[in-house]
Structure 1
């Protein structure tokens, strides 16, 4: 089962991000119910391993977590593959990320070794953009790229199943953990 662990976003942040998405000129926008901040991508895992991880995640000592947005960006350089809202990596977020990575390792999950760059994917860009699309994306980033959303308290984080399909991924929460 393909899965990940993600922070669930507060409703007012989802509303603000959805309004911002209406202005995005390229790519396939992520559905509002799929907006999240990934803490750990687990890839394909047996159900028994995810059950073990669930037990580990239930025991994590958590603390209140607030997230804000400090601008927009793209991954992929000259060939952008996704547009995201950048999230400042505060100490509580970095600690939660580290705890989840350690829990995954304890149950035998090997995570990708990459730098943690907290972000919320807003739009996925498949294929190469035309010259006109690059111009529209550049104009959008010039006009909206400095967007700031104040930090808000996040209610929880979740273990999520990701099922790929022709219209994109479908996400189903397997378990939710309160951020106290």
Structure 2
């Protein structure tokens, strides 16, 4: 993991797909991976990729990410409490992902707001979706025959999952490398949070 983002550190001149997020402790991501393994369909998110997204940056030139790094490095914020309270779905009648819900709180909302302000200051246009802090566990294309019922049964059995709260010591800027097997992540820079 790198603490400082360096200009010219990326491999080529192509735009970089990236996000800013909070990593999870290994024990929590391992537990979430085990719970999500109760479903046999959809694309599972490996434990090492689980995080709470603060801002999805889409594809950006390296120079823009370097500017964002400078903005983020100047932030001095207290660590939010991250508490998982239940599993749910995004997508309504056509579920597109299973997630673990993160309890909203003032410090988390402030961190999200400051990261978005930093992104805008670096010239990044972000989507205007409402912030629903979560950890993605599985992604779905289309549910096959019987899978909707299996998903409902799974939520009945495991939907009340919760985990003790933790306070992260860092948040990160992460590059996402896409492939047919799914995404792999590379930390570009990390930023300390006050306790």
TM-score above 0.5, yes or no:
yes
Alignment: residue pair count: 179
1:148 corresponds to? 162
Q: Distance in 2 between matches of 1:97 and 1:121?
A: 17
- Flag structure 1 segments of 5+ consecutive residues without an equivalent: none
* Secondary structure class of the residue paired with 2:112: helix
Q: Distance in 1 between matches of 2:27 and 2:180?
A: 30
Aligned counterpart in structure 1 of residue 53 of structure 2, from 38, 46, 63:
38
Aligned counterpart in structure 1 of residue 76 of structure 2, from 53, 61, 68:
61
Q: Distance in 2 between matches of 1:110 and 1:75?
A: 23
| Mapped contact 1:73–1:145 kept (Cα < 8 A) | yes
TM, length-normalised to structure 1: 0.95
Q: How does 1:116-131 map to 2 (within 5 A)?
A: 116-126=131-141, 128-131=142-145
Detail structure 1 runs of 4+ shifted over 6 Å in the superposition: none
Q: Distance in 2 between matches of 1:33 and 1:69?
A: 17
Render the CA deviation track for 1:46-95: whole Å, top value 9, x for unaligned. 00000010011111012122211111111111111100000011111000
Q: Is it true that 1:168 corresponds to 2:166 in the alignment?
A: no
2:147 corresponds to? 133
Q: Is it true that 1:159 corresponds to 2:173 in the alignment?
A: yes
TM, length-normalised to structure 2: 0.88
- Flag structure 2 segments of 5+ consecutive residues without an equivalent: 1-15
Q: Distance in 1 between matches of 2:150 and 2:109?
A: 34
| Mapped contact 2:17–2:175 kept (Cα < 8 A) | yes
2:89 corresponds to? 74
RMSD: 1.1
Q: Distance in 1 between matches of 2:79 and 2:17?
A: 28
Q: Which moved more, 1:146-155 or 1:47-56?
A: 146-155
Q: Distance in 1 between matches of 2:193 and 2:63?
A: 25
